[in-house]
Amino acid sequence: MKLLPDRIYHVYNRGNQKQRIFFTRDNYLFFLGKVRKYWRPYCDILCYCLMPNHFHFMIKTNESTVRPFREKESRLINWTHFSWGTQQMLNQYTRAMQIQEDFSGSLFTQNTKSRQVSSEWSWEDYTLWCFRHILQNPVKAKLVKHYGQWEFSAYRDFAGIRSGTLCNIALAAKELAFDLNPFETLLDVDVPPDIVKKLF
């Protein structure tokens, strides 16, 4: 992934051949622990949703995100801290699932994707739409009837149901202008199909 600092990105991946990537509640929590360890030091997480066979994150980058990663402080490899963290996170999670589910081979599709959704121009900025799309996922997929019923997204943190610390709620509120776009009504608007295409 080639990311620029001070931008907002939609970062996502899915199971190889659309297979499940989360099998138990503990799997979701284990994965979020890896996100906290390998992503959170290098970016601000604005929101997320883990689905049975894919995941979505909306992140804001900074200089740490794009800083070249030095292996053993001796040689420079063609990775940033964020890309190195992504590789570590997915590899460690995959190894754990291979043991748990007794399989070999890939769990995720080959490359984690990113799409810049922020822009200096309002007509090209899809940050609000991306936020809606990510948190609406479980209801759209008919996994639950209400967003708050899905444990593995940032919805409960934004709604004040849970005191999660993975997302930078204050920064998300600033970037999404919650004073003008109250969170309570933000998800009442469906994301049009043509806008969804802009997020991937």
- Please calculate the CA angle 155-161-162 and round it to the nearest 5 degrees: 85
The whole-angstrom distance between residue 192's C-alpha and the CA centroid of its chain comes to: 21
Among residues of the chain, what percentage have pLDDT more than 70?
Answer: 96
Q: Please indicate, yes or no, if residue 2 is contained in any of the structural domains.
A: no
Percent above pLDDT 90 for the chain? 76
The pLDDT score that the predictor gives to residue 12 is: 97
**Tens of pLDDT, residues 159-200:** 999 999 999 999 999 999 998 888 888 899 899 899 999 999
Contact (Cβ atoms closer than 8 angstroms) between residue 108 and residue 16: yes
Distances, alpha carbon 38 to alpha carbons 43, 44, 153, 157, 184, in Å = 10, 12, 18, 21, 31
Q: Is residue 3 domain-resident? A: no
pLDDT tens string 25-53: 999 999 999 999 999 999 999 999 999 99
Domain that holds residue 27: 8-198
Q: Is residue 194 part of a domain?
A: yes
Q: Minimal CA–CA distance to 9: which of 54, 42, 37, 34?
A: 42
Task: Look at the chain and report how many structural domains it folds into.
Answer: 1
Please give the structure tokens belonging to residue 125: 């900025």
* 76 pLDDT higher than 60: no
Q: What does pLDDT average to over the chain?
A: 92
Per-residue model confidence (pLDDT) at position 81: 87
Residue 85 lies in a domain: yes
Q: CATH number of the domain at 118, please.
A: 3.30.70.1290
The DSSP H or E segment spanning 92 is: helix 81-101
CB 135 within 8 A of CB 47: yes
The two structure tokens encoding residue 43: 């970016």
98 vs 76, higher pLDDT: 98
